[in-house]
Amino acid sequence: MNPTTPSWEKIRADFPILDQQVHGTPLIYFDNAATSQKPRAVIDALRHYYERDNSNVHRGMHELSARATAGYEEARVKVARFLNAGSEKEIIFTRGATESINLVAQTWGNQFVRAGDVILVTEMEHHSNLVPWQLLAERTGATLRILPINDRHELALDRLGEFLTPDVKLFAFNQISNSLGTINPVAELCAAARKVGAVTLVDAAQSGGHLSIDVQTLGCDFLALSGHKMCGPTGIGALYGKLALLETMPPWQGGGEMIETVEYEKSTWKKPPYRFEAGTPDISGAIGLGVAIDYLESIGREAIFKHDAELTRYAHEKLVAIPGLRVLGPPLGTPRGAVLSFVFGDAHAHDVVTKANEHGIALRGGHHCTQPLMRKLGLTSSARASFYFYNTKAEIDRMIEMLTPSEVSPEASPAFSLPLGEIYEMVVSDHARRPRNFGELAGDSVVHVHGDNPSCGDTLDLHVQFGPDKVENVKFTGSGCTVCMTSASLMTLKLKGKPRAEAARLMHLFHDQVSAPADSETGSGPRELGDLNVLGGVRKFPQRVKCAMLAWRAFEQALQESGHERAEVSTEEPKGA
Ligand code: PMP
Tell me which of 98, 103, 123 to substitute to probe ligand 1's pocket, judged by most ligand atoms within 8 Å of the beta carbon.
98
* Cα separation, 200 vs 178, whole angstroms: 19
Tell which residue, 559, 539, 540, has the closest CA to residue 549.
539
Q: Per residue in 394-437, pLDDT tens? A: 999 999 999 987 644 444 344 455 555 555 666 776 787 789 99
Residue 418's pLDDT is 53
- pLDDT of 330 > 50? The answer is yes
Give which of 257, 190, 181, 184 is closest to 220, Cα–Cα.
190
Give 113-151 pLDDT, tens digit per residue.
999 999 999 999 999 999 999 999 999 999 999 999 999
**CB of 143 within 8 A of CB of 136?**
no
CB of residue 126 inside a 6 A radius of ligand 1: yes
Say if residue 361's pLDDT is above 50. Answer: yes
Q: Is the model more confident about 41 or about 344?
A: 41
Of 433, 436, 292, 417, which is closest to residue 352 (Cα–Cα)? 417
CA of 128 from ligand 1 middle (Å) equals 6
Question: H-helix or E-strand containing 341?
Answer: strand 339-344
**Per-domain residue ranges for the chain?**
8-37+300-403, 97-226, 422-570
Q: In this predicted structure, what is the pLDDT of residue 408?
A: 44
Cβ–ligand 1 distance for 206 under 6 Å, the answer yes
| Mean of per-residue pLDDT scores for the chain | 91
Residue 32 in contact with ligand 1 by CB distance below 6 A: no
Q: Could you please report the per-residue DSSP string of 265-308? A: S-EEEPPTTGGG--SS--HHHHHHHHHHHHHHHHH-HHHHHHHH
Cβ atoms of 238 and 49 within 8 Å: the answer is no
Output the residue whose Cα is nearest ligand 1's atom 8: 34
Kindly tell me the sign of the dihedral angle through the C-alpha atoms of 420, 425, 429, 430: negative
Question: Cα dihedral sign for 546, 547, 548, 549?
Answer: positive
Write down the pLDDT at residue 488: 94
Which residues are catalytically annotated? 369
Asked if residue 273 has a cis previous peptide bond (ω within 30° of 0), the answer is yes
Residue pLDDT, tens place only, 58-117: 877 899 999 999 999 999 999 999 999 999 999 999 999 999 999 999 999 999 999 999
Nearest atom, ligand 1, residue 203 CA: 1
CATH architecture type of domain 8-37+300-403:
Alpha-Beta Complex (3.90)
Which CATH number does 422-570 carry? Answer: 3.90.1010.10
State whether the beta carbon of 300 lies less than 6 angstroms from ligand 1: no
pLDDT, position 567: 32
Mutate to test the pocket of ligand 1, among 178, 180, 234, 289 (most ligand atoms within 8 A of CB): 178
Domains 97-226 and 422-570 share a fold: no
Measured in angstroms, how far is the CA atom of residue 309 from the centroid of ligand 1? 20
Reported as a single tens digit per residue, the pLDDT across 492-529 is 999 999 999 999 999 999 999 888 876 666 567 888 89
CATH topology classification for 97-226: Aspartate Aminotransferase; domain 2 (3.40.640)
pLDDT digits (tens, 9 = 90+) for 258-284: 999 999 999 999 999 999 999 999 999
Q: Which helix (H) or strand (E) holds 8?
A: helix 8-12
Q: What is the pLDDT of residues 532-564, one digit of tens each?
A: 988 887 887 777 888 899 999 999 999 999 874
Instruction: Supply the pLDDT for residue 479.
Output: 83
Q: 44 CA distance to ligand 1 centroid (A)?
A: 25
The end-to-end CA distance of the chain, in Å, is 62
